[in-house]
Amino acid sequence: MKQPYVQMQHVSKSFGEKHVLKNIQLDIQKGEFISIVGKSGCGKSTILRLVAGLEKPKEGNIMINKMKVKGIPEDVRIMFQNGRLLPWKTVLQNVGLGLGGDWQELALKALQNVYLEDRKDEWPSVLSGGQQQRVSLARALVHSPSLLLLDEPLGALDALTRLEMQRLIEQLWLRKSFTAILVTHDIEEAVALSDRIILIEDGKIHLDYKVNLPRPRSRTNTAFTKILDTILNRVLEHNQLDNQVGNKQVTS
Ligand SMILES: Nc1ncnc2c1ncn2[C@@H]1O[C@H](COP(=O)(O)OP(=O)(O)OP(=O)(O)O)[C@@H](O)[C@H]1O
């Protein structure tokens, strides 16, 4: 067994009295594509923020490439739902942010990878939401990160653009072989893209599911829909319990 690339070792995290994550143990291999799913507020983004060094655990350690995460690691990039592009910089300048030397050449190559090189001199505000997210993806990948953290990056996109972006992310992940951790509400997106799906409930890992399907994945394939069903049932099963507990509290 290879040494995991990312390790969460007995990680707990609280905000005041609220215990968001409880003793999380998660090993991620180099090059793996992992999705984290679970209902709103279960702590998905907190996991990403901990791995990115933006938050500190209350207990436990987070290791990347055998090194304890202290600040924001050099070779880790994060992409958010809102692309966070700088409106006063052109598309090319946004992608080139923080690069030295031949930044224009590097940024242009990164834009070619997301099929937006012809928009390089425009302002971000004239691009569609999907195009802005492609710029944001180029900006993350121009640094050739070994780990890409995706915090619901496609959440605000329409269904078709979302599908296109999923394909693009998969294509670039296959070509560049970075490790990816995706937080998503969309279980189908998780099944389409991931090697493993982690379901968080009550601050714990409720399910760690290996998706053994060849790529590219057809969503109409029976094996695909079966896996989708299994995960959806696990999510719903827990929510039904929540509802019952909620109802009891209301009636007692
Ligand atoms: N900086 C903070 N201060 C206080 N509470 C926080 C902070 N960050 C997160 N929380 C709380 O921790 C819990 C988990 O938040 P988190 O953003 O990780 O959830 P999530 O699963 O990503 O939710 P969503 O799917 O809605 O984005 C929430 O109850 C949230 O209010």
ipTM of the prediction = 0.97
Q: What is the mean pLDDT of each run of 10 residues along the chain (252 residues)?
A: 90 95 97 95 94 94 93 89 90 94 94 94 95 94 95 90 93 94 96 97 95 94 96 82 53 36
Whether the link from the prior residue into 57 is cis, omega within 30° of 0, is no
The finding on whether 200 has its CB within 6 A of some atom of ligand 1 is no
The pTM of this model reads 0.92
pLDDT of residue 156: 86
**45 CB near ligand 1 (under 6 Å):** yes
- 199 neighbors 206 (Cβ within 8 angstroms): yes
Check residue 251 and give its pLDDT: 38
Cα–ligand 1 centroid distance for 46 (angstroms): 6
Which of helix, strand or coil describes residue 10? strand
Which among 40, 42, 58, 181 is the best mutation to test ligand 1's pocket, defined by most ligand atoms within 8 Å of the CB?
42
183-210 burial string, b = 16+ CB within 10 Å, else e? bbebbbbbbbbbbbbbbbbebebbbebe
Q: Give me the pLDDT at residue 236, please.
A: 87
User: What pLDDT was estimated at residue 76?
Assistant: 95
Residue 243 has what pLDDT?
A: 57
* Rama region for 209: left / alpha / beta (φ>0; ψ in -120 to 50; rest): beta
pLDDT at 194 (0 to 100): 97
Residue 145: Cβ within 10 Å count: 19
Decide whether any atom of ligand 1 lies within 6 Å of the 203 Cβ.
no
